[in-house]
A = this chain, B = another copy of it.
Amino acid sequence: MPVTVLLVDDEPLVRAGLRAVLEAQPDIEVAGEAADGAAVVPLVRRLRPDVVAMDVRMPLLDGIEATRALLRTVSDPPRILVVTTFENDEYVYEALRAGADGFLLKRARPAEIVHAVRLIAEGESLLFPASVRRLAAEYGDGGGNRAARAELERARLTDREGEVLRLMARGLSNAEIAARLVVGTETVKSHVSAVLAKLGARDRTQAVITAYESGFVTPG
């Protein structure tokens, strides 16, 4: 009895690639595809796949929310393999905290992709497989320079501070952030100052750079 997989990614090209790679295996079967997180729950109910290979970044409903929704609403939920482009995508960690069972880099080799799906299907957790560490090393930090990352680790931003940093990283001014969060500009200034202090940044631009360099936010 083959392992059945549901592919969830907003890019058809990635779905086609995963399908080609996985269906080349006799013991793996692609049960279906979805282009966004919102379609996942009904599809899982109908297809009952063993594994969901899920992108984190998607329109409508991202991989984190889709993971939560699956675990919350589906009885005997499938194992969830998070698929991502960047190794230090903080969304990945959120997805793992939300209950995903492992993650996989899109640039992994076909054999590694197949291996990951099999492992996950068998109930193994696949948090930091050797292949990922190797890839991370090969691609030299690829989206997470160590110093910046260490800085962010030590920083221990509060929820609110992280929220503010994210908005800073979208180019919003203090006034705009205040409007978005429905608080006063003075409050935002407090949070911004805290972020700058914790990150060792001199101004918001340096803070945003640290956010990018550490993978706290990612381009694309």
Binding site for B on A (CB under 8 A): 10-21, 85-86, 106-110, 113, 140-145, 168-171, 173, 201-206, 208-209, 212-215, 218-220
Q: Give, as a whole number of angstroms, the nearest-CB distance from A92 to chain B.
A: 14
Residues of B within 8 A of A142 (CB): 220
Q: Give, as a whole number of angstroms, the nearest-CB distance from A55 to chain B.
A: 11
Where chain A touches its partner, the secondary structure class is: loop
Residues of B within 8 A of A144 (CB): 171, 219-220
Q: Give, as a whole number of angstroms, the nearest-CB distance from A123 to chain B.
A: 25
Whether the pair A205, B168 counts as a contact (CB closer than 8 A) is yes
Known: A11-B107, A208-B209. A145 touches B219 (CB 8 A): yes
Known: A20-B20, A145-B220. A12 touches B204 (CB 8 A): no
Question: Which of B10, B13, B86, B218 makes the CB contact (< 8 A) with A17?
Answer: B13
Known: A85-B220, A209-B208. A16 touches B21 (CB 8 A): yes
Given A14-B14, A16-B20, A171-B202: 10 more A-B contacts, CB < 8 Å: A13-B21, A14-B106, A16-B16, A20-B20, A141-B170, A144-B219, A145-B220, A171-B205, A205-B208, A213-B220
